[in-house]
Structure 1
Amino acid sequence: MNILFIEDDMIESMKFQRTLSKIASRHTIIEAKNGEQAIDALKNSESLPDIILLDLNMPRMSGIEFLQILKADEQYKYIPTIILTTSENRADLLECYRIGIAGYVIKPLKYEDYEQKLTAVLAYWQTNELVKA
């Protein structure tokens, strides 16, 4: 799968890369540190990502602001976007679903739990018919 990973925290990016290195299937990863970089990556990419993994709390443009731009665009609005965040704020969760996300995953503190959750998310989307289309 082609994955756009939007995360400003270097430690979280390292956890993500470490987890991916343990998964048998290989994925193409495009990383962006904030919503602005992610929009540039989408515009400059030859192909669209199969899924987007998005942090909510980022500088310059929040995850919610990025989502609003993404889901308003005819070319990008159907890309499954999964929130990967530490925010347990119910208002954030409801707003993200209102805008049109495909999932909301809270990053656990323990690495083993993070690895388990991320592996499950990727396994699901890898077999999902939308991604195959």
Structure 2
Amino acid sequence: MITINNTTQKKWSVYLADDDVTDQEIFRDALKEIDTPLTLNVFNNGIDLLTRLENSETQPDVIFLDLYMPKMDWSDCLIKMRENPLLDYVPIIVYSTEFDIDRIEELFEYGANRYLRKTASFDSLVSSLDRTFNSLKRNANSAPALINIVV
């Protein structure tokens, strides 16, 4: 668990499930660049993520989920999270290099709230994360985040 951007604003609890250590580091570094205080918990696979979700007294404010990880298919992980009523209002953002509109549509059908494409540009990732958190903040008191794609 890492605390990022410590201020008096609401501190977001963020979970990232991604098996690629380099992608984890880039994601963490990009989060440090946005103006949102948060605590980041990183999981190397969907099973570890689900275990934490099932055994924790509190739920995260948002979950970022990589599509391709070992031990559990993305669809199984996403379905299991959406079967848990405690996660009904937790936005799940798929975070992947893949950009296939049919696949993205399928992700939304399984319960993803947003698709965030991994980009080769660090600045693009920072901008996408900033827009994502601004959207989540706007929706935090009303309903789950709107379904949309950030590329």
TM over 0.5: yes
Normalising by structure 1, what TM-score? 0.89
Give the residue type in structure 1 aligned to 2:126: E
Identity among equivalent positions (%) equals 24
| Residue aligning to 1:47 | 58
Per the TM alignment, residue 96 of structure 1 is displaced from its structure 2 partner at its CA by 0.7
> C-alpha offsets along residues 22-56 of structure 1, whole Å, 9 cap, x if unaligned?
22331011211111000011122221011111110
User: Structure 1 CA distance, aligned partners of 2:120 and 2:22?
Assistant: 12
* Greater helix fraction, Structure 1 or Structure 2: 1
Normalising by structure 2, what TM-score? 0.79
Contact 1:7 1:33 in 2 (8 A): yes
SS at match of 2:64: strand
Contact 2:94 2:112 in 1 (8 A): yes
Q: 1:125 aligns with which of 108, 116, 136?
A: 136
Q: How many residue pairs are counted as aligned between the two chains?
A: 133
Contact 1:50 1:131 in 2 (8 A): no
Contact 1:125 1:131 in 2 (8 A): no
Unaligned 5+ runs, structure 2:
1-11, 144-151
Q: 1:63 aligns with which of 69, 74, 86?
A: 74
> C-alpha offsets along residues 71-112 of structure 1, whole Å, 9 cap, x if unaligned?
122222332101111111233211111111111111111111
User: Structure 2 CA distance, aligned partners of 1:71 and 1:119?
Assistant: 25
User: Structure 2 CA distance, aligned partners of 1:72 and 1:53?
Assistant: 17
Q: 2:23 aligns with which of 9, 12, 21?
A: 12
Q: 1:106 aligns with which of 92, 106, 117?
A: 117
User: Structure 2 CA distance, aligned partners of 1:9 and 1:131?
Assistant: 34
Give the residue type in structure 1 aligned to 2:116: V
The answer to whether the aligner puts 1:82 opposite 2:78 as a matched pair is no
C-alpha RMSD of the superposition:
2.0
User: Structure 1 CA distance, aligned partners of 2:32 and 2:50?
Assistant: 26
The answer to whether the aligner puts 1:115 opposite 2:131 as a matched pair is no
| Residue aligning to 2:148 | none
SS at match of 2:86: coil
